[in-house]
A and B are shown apart, each in its own frame.
Chain A
Amino acid sequence: MKEKIITTLNRVTKSGLNSFWRNKWVSTATISVMVITLGLITSLFLLSVVVGSILTDLEQKVDISVYFKLSTTENEILKVKSELEKISDVKSVEYISRQQALAKFETEHENNPLIIKSLEELGDNPLEASLNIKAKLIDNYESIASFLESTRFSSMVDTVNYRQNQKVIEKLSSILGTVRNSGLIATLALGFIAVLVTFNTIRLKIYSMREEIGVMRLVGASNWYIRGPFIIEGILHGLAASLVTTIIFYPILVFVSPKISAFLSGIDIAGYFRNNFFQIFFLQTLVGVFLGVISSLIAMRRYLKI
């Protein structure tokens, strides 16, 4: 029985391979549309990776600085600090005393004698103590800022400083969201077209093979023996499309990657692609085979009456 299944599987696979090869041109059309779909999905995936890594990079640079009036004592500031640390959205709070701020200022401007001189002339430390706060998520900064701006602290707090990064990040994440959404819609549309084209290919094949199918039924071929080759063909379309996509994509990435790296340091798409080659290839193959098999099944349901 087991041998019989293997024999049948063998024959079905062979027949599917044959038909795939004999109808090279029709197969090519099907695969082309699928390659475009898979290419789009892969691009989208890589774009997400790039933009995502830019975003995390930027997110780490965002923080809020609260500057306290000169009259505020260290104890009061530390109290605010411990209060902030209790808020669940807060990741870390760093205290920078007036002395530290001065030291930092001096090292930053040690090459500028004018500033150093005017500081010396002032005699006193004009810098305010501050707290640097990092939130867990970018969305949390809003609430932390409003917490600090509340009237409770108005006697101590001089200014609450959002860094400019915030705006950039908001813009970037909205761009990423738009790209993802429109990309998803385009992918779905192309996927649908790929299914239609594959469906039509299989439909034509069923039509051109109607004689053979008739004979198969006549001599008592089981249903899956008749259907098998069409499913194998669907799988082959998907596999071929994913292979072609990879073959086209890799050189393009190798070419483009240095240019992107020049723009955005620390991002190496080609390297990412190499490192995650199997995952990406697996994803492509999965989507390709899924599209191919689904189309075959629909075509058989419609046109292959057994």
Chain B
Amino acid sequence: MIHFKNVSKIYPPHMVALENVNLIIKSKEFVSLVGSSGAGKSTLLRMLIGEEAPSMGEIIVGDVSINSLNHKEMPYMRRKIGTVFQDYKLLPTKTAYENIAFAMEVAGKDDEEIREDVPQVLSLVGLEDKANQFPYQLSGGERQRVAIGRALVHRPDILVADEPTGNLDPINTWEVVNLLLKLNELGATVILATHDNSIVNNLERRVILMEKGKVVKDDLKGKYLI
């Protein structure tokens, strides 16, 4: 369970990015976070992964308060939350396989475990045959699937996707969204930030609408109408 408790973020001197956000996201939920650019979606997600601290309020994941974690504890928290971004953030000098393996290496997993897990993850995202290709040899959708694969290696409870389809055409977009749905079925909580109303309207899942740093609508089976 993720709980945003009276969370506000103010960038000094007085730019209010988030204002008194209260949200509860149950585990295994699939939530779409929608709103126009600058509504505060990304800020909310960045706080969830500890990239930024709230000016006020508290964020609780499971039974841990994110903002009370220190430098040493934060990396372990991040391993429990998989993240996917619009610009993929893959390492250009590493192949698809190596990009995913890298996430396991930095977490100190041993080589044997890496050899076992990476192919599994690659087949889960449907890229077994592209394992040895570099990011520039992959299409946008494939790159994003590598990024999702990388987010999955730590078997996270939560998958945070910030505009994962922002750079993709409709076909690739649906490949990625279907992958997210599949992961959700496998038991992960998925938080998808997007401003693509066609995705949201077809999903028929919970939709949280944000405007100017506030949650303005929260529907269990919502639509996103502009």
Asked whether B110 lies within 8 Å of A7 as measured between CB atoms, the reply is: yes
Known: A216-B106, A223-B72. A211 touches B91 (CB 8 A): yes
A contacts with B, residue count (CB < 8 A):
19
* Residue in B72, B78, B89 whose CB lies within 8 Å of A214: B89
Interface centre among A212, A215, A218, A306 (most CB of B within 10 A): A218
Q: Is the CB of B108 within 8 A of A219?
A: no
In the bound assembly, the distance between CA atoms of A259 and B76 in angstroms comes to 64
B79: A residues at CB distance < 8 A: 219-220
Residue in A4, A214, A223 whose beta carbon sits within 8 Å of that of B110 in the complex? A4
Q: Are B71 and A306 in contact (CB under 8 A)?
A: yes
Please classify how large the interface on chain B is, using the bins under 10, 10 to 19, 20 to 34, 35 or more: 20 to 34
Task: Indicate if A11 sits at the interface (CB-CB under 8 A).
Answer: yes
Interface string of A1-36 (1 = CB under 8 A from B): 001100110010000000000000000000000000
> Which of B71, B105, B153, B154 touches A11 (beta carbons < 8 Å)?
B105
| Contact among B77, B106, B150, B151 for A225, CB-based, below 8 A | B106
The answer to whether B71 and A223 touch across the interface, beta carbons within 8 angstroms, is yes
B75 at the binding interface (Cβ < 8 Å): yes
Q: Is the CB of B154 within 8 A of A215?
A: no
Minimum CB distance partner of A5 in chain B: B108
Known contacts A7-B111, A8-B108, A225-B106; A220 and B78 CB within 8 A of each other? yes
Residue of A nearest to B83 (CB): A218
Q: Which of A8, A212, A217 contacts B78 (CB 8 A)?
A: A217
Q: Which residue of chain A lies nearest to B77 when distances are taken between CB atoms in the complex?
A: A220
Q: Does B103 contact A (CB under 8 A)?
A: yes
On whether the beta carbons of B72 and A218 are closer than 8 Å, the reply is no
Pair B91/A215 contact, Cβ less than 8 Å = yes
Bound-state CA distance A253–B107 (Å) is 50
Determine the chain A residues whose CB is within 8 A of the CB of B72 once the complex forms.
222-223
- Cross-chain contact A220 with B111 (CB below 8 angstroms): no
Q: Which chain B residues (57-100) contact chain A, with CB distance < 8 Å? A: 71-72, 75-79, 83, 89-91
A sample of 14 cross-chain residue pairs with beta-carbon separation below 8 angstroms, ordered by A number, consists of A7-B109, A8-B108, A211-B89, A216-B106, A217-B78, A218-B78, A220-B75, A220-B76, A221-B107, A222-B72, A222-B76, A222-B106, A223-B72, A225-B108
- Considering the complex of A and B, which 4 residue pairs feature the smallest CB-CB distances, nearest first? A221-B106, A220-B79, A219-B103, A220-B78
New A-B pairs, 19, CB < 8 Å, besides A4-B110, A222-B106: A3-B110, A7-B111, A8-B108, A11-B106, A211-B89, A212-B91, A215-B90, A215-B91, A215-B102, A216-B106, A217-B78, A219-B78, A219-B153, A220-B76, A220-B106, A221-B75, A221-B107, A222-B76, A225-B108
Binding site for A on B (CB under 8 A): 49, 71-72, 75-79, 83, 89-91, 102-103, 105-111, 150-151, 153-154
